[in-house]
Structure 1
Amino acid sequence: MGQLRTSPPPPQATELEQWVLDTPAELRDLRASLRAALERHGLVQGEELDEIPHLVVLVATELASNALRHGRPPTIVTLLGADDCFVLDVADHDVSSVPELSDIRPLESGGRGLFLAEEMSLAVGWYASADTKNIWASFPRSKPAR
Structure 2
Amino acid sequence: MNIQGFEPVISAAMLCALVSSWSMALAPDYSDTAQVKPSLERLLAPLSQQAPTEIRDRGLQVHLEADKHLEQLQLDYRTKLEANGWQVVEHQGDNWGPFEAGELVATRNHNHLVVQFSAHAGHAEIDLCVWDHQPRNDTCPG
TM-score scaled by structure 1? 0.33
Flag the structure with larger Rg: 2
TM-score scaled by structure 2? 0.33
